[in-house]
Amino acid sequence: MDNIISFIVMVVMLGILVVVHEWGHFIVARIFKIRVDEFSIGFGPRALRIGRRGDTEYNVRWIPLGGYVKIAGMEADEEPINVAKEKARGLLGGSPDDANAGELPLVAENTPDRAETEEQRLRDAEDGFYSKPIWQRSLVIFAGPLMSFLLGVFIFCNMGWTTGIIVSDPTNAVAKVQPGDEAARMGLQADDKIVNINGKVTDTQDKMIAAIRGNIGKDIVVTVLRGQQTVVLRGKPHPLRDDFGKPVLIDGKPVGVLGFTPGYNQHIDKFGFVESQKKGLQLISSIGPMLKAVFSSFKSVRENTGSVLSIASMTKSAVKKGPADVAGVAGSLTVSLAIFNLLPIPILDGGHLLIFLIEALRRGRRLTPQQQQNFMLAGLICIGILFLAVMSNDVLKAIHGTLPRVR
């Protein structure tokens, strides 16, 4: 039953996040009098035709994950993206005859329709996407990520007076021990409380971290409280290193670590409406440094970016804990969706913006069909590699039992 409820929550949550994103494209396109042929909730075959208003048909489709808008002149599954797909199939694992090979789920495929008939070109001359100046087209594309980001701001700013905000207080406890590192070798365990290092009381997380950081390469005596039992351990902090093997410096000095994650006590606080807005903006501002760390290298992206498996696991855990956790997951996902879509990778919104920048630098000359095919192929390969890396990372986590889950 828990799995069914979690699945329903995940579907509804992702549906809302993506529909709001697509609504951003839709509303700005309408503002600039660009014809929108269809607005659909979900993917796949049509399940329900809601109706038509003006030139736009509104539908509900069978696969309840997200949605899309069909903007005149940006037809899905047309050249040059189909040609790029044919080439990508061989590179991403699959034969050209396999209709499903190289497909990338949950990736919107809006691209100029190079297969238009003369009648379609005349029809799109006045209200089609590519009949508009570059700045208007750019705003239509940018509106999707902007709406995703604003939805995240709305969620975070209103959690304080509705669901409450999850507050994490740092402790001197151990949350997780890194396998194979010094902490594991010396016998440190999750939930241990580090109460003393080299005779100095470490009753706060700051004191605990400072005592470890300042003793790189030195033998230290660590006293921990394990349940009701006091245990004395011995270890030697080593320098924290980045993905390239270089020591991490803080104030010009290397940072000593043992290889464990400090713990936090979590509780839910509620605030008044005004204070809730301030707390929400503080949460949003803290996302920037975290995203910078995530996108610092491919390894970091692979390890910190989740596939549908991770989203499902996070949703299940959040549903188990309560509305505040569900709202937190929804807010984090929609902000991540905004940032991810702005990456300058073809197929993503950022890739379209990059094309428009190139077009502007070429004084309005659009890329040729062959150039677009190459551009789309590069994007499919980038997204495909990232998708496979993230999925494989999640599968390995699941196999080794490190993917967060609720039993």
State yes or no: cis peptide before 80, omega within 30 of 0: yes
Phi-psi region of 93 (alpha: psi -120 to 50; beta: other; left: phi over 0): left
Supply φ then ψ for residue 237, to 5 degrees.
Answer: -60, 145
Strand segments, DSSP code E, in 163-305 are: 165-177, 193-197, 200-201, 220-226, 229-235, 238-239, 249-250, 253-254, 256-257, 260-269
The 8-class DSSP code of residue 161 comes to: T
Q: Are 264 and 171 in contact (CB under 8 A)?
A: yes
| Closest listed residue to residue 196, CA positions, set 210, 183, 208, 213 | 208
Token output for 385: 């590699």
Alpha-carbon distance values, 28 to 10, 42, 134, 350, 401 (Å):
28, 21, 14, 17, 45
Buried b / exposed e over 221-254, threshold 16 CB at 10 Å, is ebbbbeeeeeeebebebbebeeeeeeeeeeeeeb
* Whole-number Å distance between alpha carbons of 189 and 171: 15
* Whole-number Å distance between alpha carbons of 174 and 187: 12
Alpha-carbon distance values, 192 to 100, 160, 226 (Å):
49, 32, 5
Phi-psi region of 245 (alpha: psi -120 to 50; beta: other; left: phi over 0): left
* Whole-number Å distance between alpha carbons of 92 and 88: 6
% helix, strand, coil for the chain, step of 5:
50, 20, 30
The one catalytic residue among 22, 75, 79, 182: 22
Q: Are 141 and 231 in contact (CB under 8 A)?
A: no
* Whole-number Å distance between alpha carbons of 123 and 113: 13
* Whole-number Å distance between alpha carbons of 167 and 155: 16
Half-sphere exposure of 356 (CA within 13 A, CB side): 22
Whether 75 sits among the annotated catalytic residues: the reply is no
Supply φ then ψ for residue 99, to 5 degrees.
Answer: -65, -20
Q: Which residues carry out catalysis?
A: 22
